[in-house]
Structure 1
Amino acid sequence: MDACYIARREDLTEASIKELENAIRRFYKHREIFKITGVRSGFDLPRQHALAHYPDHIRQFSTPNGLCSSITKSRHITAVKKPW
């Protein structure tokens, strides 16, 4: 959750990008408890994978300013799943 809140800031300095990288590392470490307890067998979730790219993309393109992957999911459902 920390990573999401940091990435949504309107202004990110190099220090806050480092803070984001640390939060992402903590998230990846702590999510393993779901594997250990048998809640999930793996994590092939595009949104979670995308988190790993946020720091570099913020450095290249600036802050995401409200970027949300939900629109991609809803368009995928409309374009791919519903016609069938």
Structure 2
Amino acid sequence: MNNMHVGLIIAAIGLATVAIIYVPEFQKKQQLERDRSGTCILYRTTVQLAQLYLDNGNEEKTKETLGKARDFLEKGSCTNIL
């Protein structure tokens, strides 16, 4: 193995190390930004509304509202709170 191959291997290891350290933090920040979006705020509010319907024994409205919450969850790529 010549010096060029060794250099490429070292560079690849360095790049992989940086990616392992940086990518999770980047993804966490991106998720926080999505969770602050209007769609994700609507998702959390709709889940709370569904809980109120459930507490009052209205199963039909609970299911309907949870369906809407699921739509917001998917549309906004929100953190699931259920």
Greater Rg over alpha carbons, structure: 2
> What TM-score do you get using the length of structure 2 for normalisation?
0.36
State the structure with bigger RCO (CA 8 A, min sep 6), 1 or 2.
1
* TM-score, normalised via structure 1 length: 0.36
Give 1 or 2: higher helix fraction: 2
